[in-house]
Amino acid sequence: MNDVIKLLLSHRSIRKFSDQAIDQETVNTIVAAGQAAATSSNLQGTTVIQVNNPDSRAELAQLAGGQKYVSTSSTFLVFCADVKRSAQACALQGGEFTPGMTEHFIIATVDVALFAQNCVIAAESLGLGICYIGGLRNNPADVSKVLDLPENVYPVFGLCLGYPEQDPEVKPRLPLDAVLMQDTYDESVLEAGIAQYDEHMRSYYRQRTGGKKDSNWSVEMKALVGKESRPHMRSFLHDQGFTMK
């Protein structure tokens, strides 16, 4: 197993950071590594906003559900799906932008995920810790106001970067047999795979919390997909120009 694979398999979310600052050259290198990710049709549909203003950081922390590490991490980045830039390029060539296409939305959103994961791998290779902040989508309109986002741009998630001041265990993942399938989707492996993973996760939570948390993956998925999840996103995206034609 080479060092890159070892790094990937050792990923953890870090939520406690030291006071050590990350120099701007390092941030620039991390974002440049993100730019090197694959991008569908060369859209390059990602814009990254580095939020430095302490008041803005504090406001975003509250909008994300009171996640204080948005404020306390050395660096905080917001990754935005951006179709405005390509629309402007289209106009510069005398074309007329076709707004609201679902395919453009998918391309830009996938681009953001690929870009950000490259950034994460680069950051972790430098000894930094990271934590994704999907909670920005709790209040996407207010987040957009803080960042002054125009139409055809939306915040997908944030990313905390910093030098770790904690050393959590790696969270177990689903067994490979429940994820890697051959030729067709095999529903028959799901039940056994989930049961195995639930047992693993219950042990993990008990050990990590000293017996205070008694849960598993199925319980968490019931809480997540057994109810509406951020139903405001559809109307927000529509208002932001992503009408899903």
Would you say residue 245 lies in a domain? no
Residue 11's φ and ψ, nearest 5 degrees, are -60, 135
Query: What are the tens digits of pLDDT across the range 204-241?
Result: 999 988 989 999 999 999 999 999 999 999 999 999 99
Query: What are the tens digits of pLDDT across the range 96-109?
Result: 999 999 999 999 99
Partners of 81 in the β-ladder: 46, 154
Which structural domain range is residue 37 located in?
Answer: 3-168+228-239
User: In the structure encoding, which two tokens stand for residue 126, read together?
Assistant: 């430098």
Mean pLDDT computed over 116-120 = 98
User: In the structure encoding, which two tokens stand for residue 65, read together?
Assistant: 């559900």
232 plus 129 within the same structural domain: yes
Instruction: Please give the Cα distance from 157 to 155 (Å, whole number).
Output: 6
Displacement of CA 30 from its chain's centroid (Å) = 15
Instruction: Please give the Cα distance from 71 to 62 (Å, whole number).
Output: 9
pTM > 0.85: yes or no: yes
Query: What are the tens digits of pLDDT across the range 55-91?
Result: 999 999 999 999 999 999 999 999 999 999 999 999 9
135 plus 182 within the same structural domain: no
181 plus 139 within the same structural domain: no
Would you say residue 234 lies in a domain? yes
Instruction: Please give the Cα distance from 57 to 87 (Å, whole number).
Output: 29
Instruction: Please give the Cα distance from 116 to 88 (Å, whole number).
Output: 23
Structurally, the chain folds into a number of domains equal to 2
181 plus 103 within the same structural domain: no
Question: Residues near 71 by Cβ (< 8 Å), separated by ≥ 6?
Answer: 54, 57, 58, 61
Would you say residue 34 lies in a domain? yes
Q: Give the CATH number of the domain where residue 94 resides.
A: 3.40.109.10
Mean pLDDT computed over 39-45 = 97
Band of the pLDDT at 119, cuts 50, 70, 90? very high
What's residue 222's pLDDT? 94
Query: What are the tens digits of pLDDT across the range 5-37?
Result: 999 999 999 999 999 999 999 999 999 999 999
Alpha-helical (H) ranges within the chain are: 3-9, 24-35, 54-63, 69-72, 84-92, 102-125, 140-147, 190-209, 217-225, 232-239
User: In the structure encoding, which two tokens stand for residue 159, read together?
Assistant: 């990313």
Of 4, 220, 230, 209, which is closest to residue 124 (Cα–Cα)? 4
